[in-house]
A and B are shown apart, each in its own frame.
Chain A
Amino acid sequence: MAEPGTARSRTNAGPGRLLIAVYLLFAIAASSRAAVQIATRLDEAPLAYLLSALAAVVYIVAAVGLARAGHTGRRVALACCALELAGVVGVGAFSLARPDLFPDETVWSGFGSGYGYIPLVLPVLGLAWLRHTRHPDARKGPLLTPGA
């Protein structure tokens, strides 16, 4: 659970907990895939496999950020969700434009098509959830919104 002082910034309760669960699943999926790929055949598709590893790290950090729920946790989660969205859109576009660079799949190639497009939806849900939970936390941030 979160520290007592962050009890009202509820990124880690309700729907947030579901989001954390899905992030955990993707962290497991991406990191085990990257571990196998890098350990067994890094030379075949180094870019794709290193991107898998990067995606894995981002998912883990995002899950931790959402679960920690404090001011720092929110910023970390925000950065990770943004990076993820950029990653899935960028790698998705790149994997279509330059398939020769991606001889093997990553979590993000084809806009996450190998994973039911969940990698594309997840950062959007994450950003929406961070936005939704923004007000109770605003007392700590620069944006004070009294009476919200």
Chain B
Amino acid sequence: MNPPTPSPTPVPISGSPVDGVLAVAAIVLALLVAVWALVAALRHRSPDRVQFIGLAVLELLLLGLVVVTVVALAGGERPGEPGSFFGYLVTLLCLPPLAAVLARMEPTRWGSAIVCAVCLVTPVVVIRLQQTWEVLGG
């Protein structure tokens, strides 16, 4: 007897596009910027160059996530919950610019606190993005 062959479903096992090195890098960078900004806020420092550069690089990483998502979509893959997924994706892209604009408006320690808060929210949104790509429980 042959062992039961695995069902030949055409499931692309290439994995989620938002669950790779880019996503990990974005989460790690966001947390690093958050810690840096928190230290700045505690030391009564206004947002410095490092924070703005960090936000810019973070935005580039998030744009990279959009690119790999578009590539996956072009390859026929689809998110589990499209509405939520694209909602989170758009929200995610808006976060670093929001932090940068508000931090520029507030050149005090509280500007650094804003950068910290937004950079703490970013990893949460990345994880939600990953969850809405996977089809949880069908």
In Å, the complex CA distance between A1 and B102 comes to 11
Interface size of B in residues (CB-CB distance below 8 Å)? 20
CB-defined contacts of A35 to chain B, threshold 8 Å:
87
Among A14-22, A44-52, A98-106, the stretch that binds chain B is: A14-22
Among A24-32, A75-83, A84-92, A131-139, the stretch that binds chain B is: A24-32
CB-defined contacts of B113 to chain A, threshold 8 Å:
15, 18
State how many angstroms separate the Cβ of A54 from the closest Cβ of chain B.
Answer: 19
Indicate which residue in A21, A29, A32, A33 contacts B114 across the interface (CB closer than 8 Å): A21
CB of A22 within 8 A of CB of B102, answer no
CB of A36 within 8 A of CB of B117, answer no
Indicate which residue in A1, A18, A29 contacts B117 across the interface (CB closer than 8 Å): A18
CB-defined contacts of B91 to chain A, threshold 8 Å:
28-29, 32
CB of B110 within 8 A of CB of A14, answer yes
In Å, the complex CA distance between A33 and B102 comes to 24
Interface size of A in residues (CB-CB distance below 8 Å)? 19
State how many angstroms separate the Cβ of B121 from the closest Cβ of chain A.
Answer: 6
Indicate which residue in A13, A24, A32 contacts B106 across the interface (CB closer than 8 Å): A13
CB-defined contacts of A24 to chain B, threshold 8 Å:
98
CB-defined contacts of A33 to chain B, threshold 8 Å:
84, 87
CB of A25 within 8 A of CB of B110, answer no
CB-defined contacts of B118 to chain A, threshold 8 Å:
21, 25
CB-defined contacts of B84 to chain A, threshold 8 Å:
33, 36
In Å, the complex CA distance between A113 and B88 comes to 20
Contact with A along B71-92 (1 / 0, CB 8 A): 0000000000101100110010
In Å, the complex CA distance between A13 and B114 comes to 12
CB of A14 within 8 A of CB of B121, answer no
CB of A36 within 8 A of CB of B108, answer no
Task: Assess A17 versus B102: contact at CB under 8 Å? Given A25-B121, A32-B87, A36-B84.
Answer: yes
In Å, the complex CA distance between A18 and B105 comes to 11
Indicate if B21 sits at the interface (CB-CB under 8 A).
no
CB-defined contacts of B98 to chain A, threshold 8 Å:
21, 24
CB of A17 within 8 A of CB of B83, answer no
Chain B residues with a Cβ under 8 A of chain A: 81, 83-84, 87-88, 91, 94, 98-99, 102, 105-106, 108, 110-111, 113-114, 117-118, 121
